[in-house]
A and B are shown apart, each in its own frame.
Chain A
Amino acid sequence: MNMPTQNSGQADTADQAADAGAKDAVVAARGLSKTFADGTVVALEGASFDIAPGSFVSLVGPSGCGKSTLLRLIAGLIDKSSGHLKVHGKPVDAPRTDVGMMFQRATLLEWRTAIENVLLPTEIKRSLTKEDRRNAAELLRMVGLHDFRFSFPTQLSGGMQQRVALARLLQTGADVLLLDEPFGALDEFTRERLNVELMRIVAEVGATTLFVTHNIAEAIFLADQVFVMTPRPGRIASIVEVPFERPRSPSLQTSPEFNEVVAEVRDILGEDH
């Protein structure tokens, strides 16, 4: 119960904070832990943090440090083992409509056109209206795929498929976006371009974003805060504030200030990074 306080700075004890949380935090976790059923793997241990509305948080860390586990907890896809977790002040116990998730694979339905894929989240909730359809078309325009809205996923490139998945995520209307290595399977160029677009889009819709990546520079470039995670047991080793003004241009990544932050994160991660 008495977990070591991590750098979120606000938690006093797990119990107190669970009730309090930061007043305006969109996502608030206190001593959040997950041990998988076999009991041997502690996927996540004692995570405590507050995420402010509209902020962009990157999760970075080596494979197996619990990044996906943390996201899936917040998405309500798995149950926590202990600790407290609230989104918009309400405990998370099941998937909910104000939280949306996007995966490394686009997971589009091959038999649906791009726009039909984007409409899926709404279709699951209720029957479609004219407004929904207009909104979906608008979102596809936002991700630059308006001309491809009637194409099937297999007619699109990997990067385009992820854009459709992003439009689908936005169609959910969720204001907490969880992105688990969304562009991890794409080539460097596409990834960089999509990262910049992602920054623009989430700023435009004002969403709170958690973004998982293996890439330190990418994590820093995108985020207001970087959660640096370490494995065995998976924990948030440190929360690094990213001081740079927005909007940011890719050239930022070559500046000395930027590289200082990279060095700081690298330091926390230790030798193997």
Chain B
Amino acid sequence: MSDRRSSSYALAYWALRALPHLLLLLALLPVWELAVSTGFITSILVPPPSEIIASIWELYVLDGTIYPHFLITLTETVAGFAIGAAVAITLAVCSALSETFKRYVSPYAIVLNVTPGIALTPVVIAWFGYGMGSKVALAAIISFFPIFVNALTGLLQVDRDSEEMFRSLGASDRQAFLKLRVPASLPLVFAGLKIGLTTALIGAVVAEFAQATAGVGVLMNRFSFQLDMGSSIATLLSMTLIGLLLFYAMEFLDDRVVFWRREGRRSVVSRARARRWAAKFGGHESPETEAASSK
């Protein structure tokens, strides 16, 4: 009950904060429209807002051309990201566990990092073809490094006092790794995942620009060649949408997993654990009944 009320407050608060931004945007649109219609800006290069809105209407509502492409790019991005992240985190864990492994892997990771990943586009397309494969591959390749570096940094950062505490408790290396280093690395792992997700989208779209049969990148290329700037920008917005969607999905996960860094989440989880404890280990342990019985 109180949760729902507080979330509706949050919504109202958010709306109130967003209002000025919305008003500013609404005020700018007529200026832009006017600038184009008076010929101050060439409409061939920059379409007036009305044209963009009309294209959005057409692409997203009337014939929905955008959706299959939207889904394809989204899939490529997520698949590429998942592969890149899985490989990155596996290698980071191995590097954190073995000094030797790290010594042999690091040079390649560094070479991969200083090589502009995007430059691999033609090679990747030659290897994996015009279909989704090459897009997934490029997304995976360029999302790999930020995730790897952040995860490895997270796993290698040691709080000496905490390590010593674990040692004084007679913990094995394995216990110290699982109970201390892994959880302690999570904030950085998630920071890496967020960057990786954004770069994965870049990889997918760039590969589509280069050579593809479907995806929002292809669509945008097509519109630009036709000098249909309105549709081109309407398509661009779909990429923004994919980006936002993924970013907030990741933010949500981050919030759940690394809850101890989020003030709001912390107290929610704290209450949830108290309830779970009471349910599992007996009602007399629950704070409510206890407060009652101690009075």
In the complex, what residues of B have CB within 8 A of residue A25's CB? Answer: none
The answer to the question of B22 belonging to the interface, with a C-beta cut-off of 8 Å to chain A, is no
Number of interface residues of B (CB under 8 A): 30
Asked whether A109 lies within 8 Å of B266 as measured between CB atoms, the reply is no
Among B168, B169, B179, B277, the most chain A Cβ lie within 10 Å of the Cβ of B168
In the complex, what residues of A have CB within 8 A of residue B273's CB? Answer: 113, 116, 150
A101–B165 CA distance with the chains assembled, in angstroms: 7
The answer to the question of B271 belonging to the interface, with a C-beta cut-off of 8 Å to chain A, is yes
Per-residue contact bits, chain A 233-266, to B (CB 8 Å; 1 contact, 0 not): 0000000000000000000000000000000000
Q: Which of B271-292 contact A (CB under 8 A)?
A: 271, 273-274, 277, 281, 285, 287
Question: What's the minimum C-beta distance from B64 to chain A, rounded to whole angstroms?
Answer: 45
A133–B169 CA distance with the chains assembled, in angstroms: 18
Question: What's the minimum C-beta distance from B290 to chain A, rounded to whole angstroms?
Answer: 8
Asked whether B168 lies within 8 Å of A125 as measured between CB atoms, the reply is no
Q: Which of A70-92 contact B (CB under 8 A)?
A: 72, 75-77
In the complex, what residues of A have CB within 8 A of residue B180's CB? Answer: 109
A95–B172 CA distance with the chains assembled, in angstroms: 11
Question: What's the minimum C-beta distance from A77 to chain B, rounded to whole angstroms?
Answer: 6
The answer to the question of B46 belonging to the interface, with a C-beta cut-off of 8 Å to chain A, is no
Among B162, B164, B269, B274, the most chain A Cβ lie within 10 Å of the Cβ of B164
Question: What's the minimum C-beta distance from A32 to chain B, rounded to whole angstroms?
Answer: 18
Number of interface residues of A (CB under 8 A): 36
The answer to the question of B159 belonging to the interface, with a C-beta cut-off of 8 Å to chain A, is yes
Asked whether A124 lies within 8 Å of B169 as measured between CB atoms, the reply is yes
Among B164, B169, B183, B260, contact of A154 (Cβ-Cβ < 8 Å): B260
A259–B121 CA distance with the chains assembled, in angstroms: 79
In the complex, what residues of B have CB within 8 A of residue A147's CB? Answer: 287
In the complex, what residues of A have CB within 8 A of residue B7's CB? Answer: none
Question: What's the minimum C-beta distance from A155 to chain B, rounded to whole angstroms?
Answer: 6
Question: What's the minimum C-beta distance from B189 to chain A, rounded to whole angstroms?
Answer: 13
Asked whether A150 lies within 8 Å of B287 as measured between CB atoms, the reply is yes
A114 to B, closest residue via Cβ: B270
In the complex, what residues of A have CB within 8 A of residue B170's CB? Answer: 94-97, 124-125
The answer to the question of B161 belonging to the interface, with a C-beta cut-off of 8 Å to chain A, is yes
Question: What's the minimum C-beta distance from B270 to chain A, rounded to whole angstroms?
Answer: 5
The answer to the question of B65 belonging to the interface, with a C-beta cut-off of 8 Å to chain A, is no
Asked whether B274 lies within 8 Å of A150 as measured between CB atoms, the reply is yes
- Given the interface contacts A147-B287, A150-B274, does A130 sit within 8 Å of B281 by beta carbon? yes
A260–B165 CA distance with the chains assembled, in angstroms: 37
Asked whether B164 lies within 8 Å of A103 as measured between CB atoms, the reply is yes
Question: What's the minimum C-beta distance from A184 to chain B, rounded to whole angstroms?
Answer: 13
The answer to the question of B171 belonging to the interface, with a C-beta cut-off of 8 Å to chain A, is yes
The answer to the question of A137 belonging to the interface, with a C-beta cut-off of 8 Å to chain B, is yes
Q: Which of A195-211 contact B (CB under 8 A)?
A: none
The answer to the question of A100 belonging to the interface, with a C-beta cut-off of 8 Å to chain B, is yes
Per-residue contact bits, chain B 247-285, to A (CB 8 Å; 1 contact, 0 not): 000000000000111000011011101100100010001
Among B168, B183, B270, contact of A151 (Cβ-Cβ < 8 Å): B270
In the complex, what residues of B have CB within 8 A of residue A109's CB? Answer: 162, 179-180, 183
- Given the interface contacts A124-B175, A150-B274, does A107 sit within 8 Å of B165 by beta carbon? yes
A71 to B, closest residue via Cβ: B168
Among A77, A97, A137, contact of B167 (Cβ-Cβ < 8 Å): A77
Question: What's the minimum C-beta distance from A193 to chain B, rounded to whole angstroms?
Answer: 23
A123–B141 CA distance with the chains assembled, in angstroms: 40
In the complex, what residues of B have CB within 8 A of residue A155's CB? Answer: 266-267, 270
Asked whether A77 lies within 8 Å of B183 as measured between CB atoms, the reply is no
B271 to A, closest residue via Cβ: A150
Among A107, A121, A123, contact of B159 (Cβ-Cβ < 8 Å): A107
Asked whether B260 lies within 8 Å of A152 as measured between CB atoms, the reply is yes
- Given the interface contacts A109-B183, A150-B271, A155-B267, does A95 sit within 8 Å of B169 by beta carbon? yes
The answer to the question of A172 belonging to the interface, with a C-beta cut-off of 8 Å to chain B, is yes
- Given the interface contacts A109-B183, A111-B260, A124-B170, does A133 sit within 8 Å of B267 by beta carbon? no
A174–B159 CA distance with the chains assembled, in angstroms: 24
The answer to the question of A110 belonging to the interface, with a C-beta cut-off of 8 Å to chain B, is yes
Among A75, A97, A120, A154, contact of B266 (Cβ-Cβ < 8 Å): A154
The contact sample of 23 A-B pairs, CB cut-off 8 A, is: A94-B170, A95-B167, A99-B168, A101-B164, A101-B165, A101-B168, A103-B161, A103-B164, A105-B161, A109-B162, A109-B179, A109-B180, A110-B260, A110-B261, A115-B277, A124-B166, A124-B171, A124-B179, A150-B274, A150-B287, A152-B270, A154-B266, A155-B266
Q: A105-B161, A130-B281, A150-B270 are in contact. List 20 more A-B contacts (CB 8 A).
A: A72-B164, A75-B168, A76-B168, A77-B164, A95-B168, A99-B168, A100-B168, A101-B164, A103-B164, A104-B161, A107-B159, A107-B165, A109-B179, A109-B180, A110-B261, A111-B183, A115-B277, A124-B170, A133-B281, A151-B270
